Structure 1
Amino acid sequence: MNELAKAIKLRETGKLEEAQTLLLALTEQDPQNPSVWYQCAWVHDAMGQESEAIPFYKKSLELGLQGEERQGALLGLGSTYRTLGMYIESKEILEEAMNESPEKREYQVLLAMAQYNLKEYNNAMEILLRLLAETSNDTGIQSYKKAIEFYSDKLDQIWD
């Protein structure tokens, strides 16, 4: 098992301090490996060190992180920005993520949360209502799916 795989296993088994120590060492040993930086960001987030996670997320993305790891880094960075009150940055990253991977509904949920924080209530509600209509298996919601979708962007409209 290589050192990165070992660090991931440590994180997955809750040995966060050990994983963090190993990952920080790996950023020095293999500074051009975007996966190392991403995993380092992830472990910082898992430890409640959100502010410290940001530069690691950003570096992983700058180094060209790809695939599922890139999707995870965009989600992690967008979510972390939001939890730190950096709502505009959160919105920007999550919109970038949605443009790259529109099928990933989790980006839409987090974007709606950032929009709520930015007092963009209509946009946030529209996203959540559309997601609810698209993904719910509830028979009552499905019976009103067309109406929910139709009204999702007309919440302030009054009908005569």
Structure 2
Amino acid sequence: MSDEEKLNDLLARLAERPDDPDLLRQTAYQHDRMGLEHEAVPYYERALELAQEDRLGLWTGYGSTLRVIGRFEDAVAAFDRGLAEFRGDPALRAFRAMACYNLGRSREAVGELLHLLAEKEQLGGYERPAAYYADHLDETV
């Protein structure tokens, strides 16, 4: 089945069950896969109103989609709402950092990424200084 056929199938099923959070989620994801990010947004929003499952994926996809279409402030707000539910999630934090970068908040973005790398012990023993400098990026000798 082609991507267009999958999308048409999802839309037909959604017409019969418009409040099905799983169909809304799948429809949002399918729009994204097809490069139709603007069209995905309302499906994400409705799915987040109704869904009890895969909320982490929904927040990540929704925020990422908002960032891709240039709605950077909205993306940060979506990631913040997702992080309120899923404290410390690395994907939400990384994508939030990208949206901060897009807003010209480079210091905040780099600091967050350094914290994330330090917490995940991805810096070969340099986690402690990286965590320090994440909050002191301009400090030099």
Which TM-score tier does this pair reach, normalised by the shorter chain? over 0.9
* Structure possessing the higher radius of gyration over alpha carbons: 1
Count of matched residue positions in the alignment of Structure 1 and Structure 2:
141
- C-alpha displacement at 1:157, in angstroms? 3.1
- Asked if 1:111 corresponds to 2:89, the answer is no
Q: What pairs with 1:10-89 in structure 2 (closer than 5 Å)?
A: 15-62=2-49, 64-67=50-53, 69-89=54-74
- Asked if 1:102 corresponds to 2:87, the answer is yes
Quick one: which amino acid aligns to residue 23 of structure 1? L
Q: Greater RCO between the two (CA within 8 Å, min separation 6)?
A: 2
Counterpart of 1:132 in structure 2 is: 117
- C-alpha displacement at 1:158, in angstroms? 4.5
Tell me the C-alpha RMSD between the 2 structures: 1.4
- C-alpha displacement at 1:136, in angstroms? 4.2
**Hey, what's the Cα distance between the residues in 2 that align with 1:128 and 1:103?**
12
Extract unaligned runs of 5+ from structure 1.
1-9
Specify the SS of the correspondent of 1:31: coil
- C-alpha displacement at 1:72, in angstroms? 1.1
Deviations 1:93-128 (A, max 9, x none): 001111110242100000000000011111111110
Specify the SS of the correspondent of 1:142: coil
Identity of aligned residues (%): 34
**Hey, what's the Cα distance between the residues in 2 that align with 1:118 and 1:75?**
18
